[in-house]
């Protein structure tokens, strides 16, 4: 993967499911995800990173491994868990 890209967090509206991901084309990624899931999604946060976004993503996957349920979807039970993921995502802003 290139040396720049986006880390993102999206939410499946009406659920406690969130997707953490990495991409070089955020608009295309959101469109692809929306066309492949049976519920409406909303972007919670994205951050542009200039250095090794895939590496940052892998670190976050490890950090939140206990929350993964299926595919790349996290089950976050409460607002505190959501805020923890957002804080980790913020740590990579403009890295």
**Contacts of 54 by beta carbon, 8 Å cutoff, 6+ apart:** 1, 5, 22
- Residue 70: the pLDDT is 81
Tell whether the model's pLDDT for residue 94 goes beyond 60: no
pLDDT tens-digit series, residues 68-91? 888 789 999 999 999 999 998 888
Contact between residue 59 and residue 95 where contact means Cβ atoms under 8 Å apart: no
- Give the confidence band of 51 by pLDDT, cuts at 50, 70, 90: low
**Whole-structure pTM value:** 0.85
């Amino acid at each position: 993967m290139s040396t720049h890209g986006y880390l993102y967090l999206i939410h499946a509206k009406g659920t406690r499911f969130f997707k953490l991901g990495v991409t070089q084309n955020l608009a295309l990624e959101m469109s692809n995800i929306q066309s492949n899931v049976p519920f409406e999604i909303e972007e919670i946060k994205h951050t542009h990173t200039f250095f090794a976004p895939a590496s940052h993503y892998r670190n976050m996957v490890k950090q939140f491994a206990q929350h993964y349920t299926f595919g790349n979807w996290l089950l976050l039970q409460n607002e505190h868990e959501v805020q923890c993921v957002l804080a980790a995502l913020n740590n990579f802003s403009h890295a």
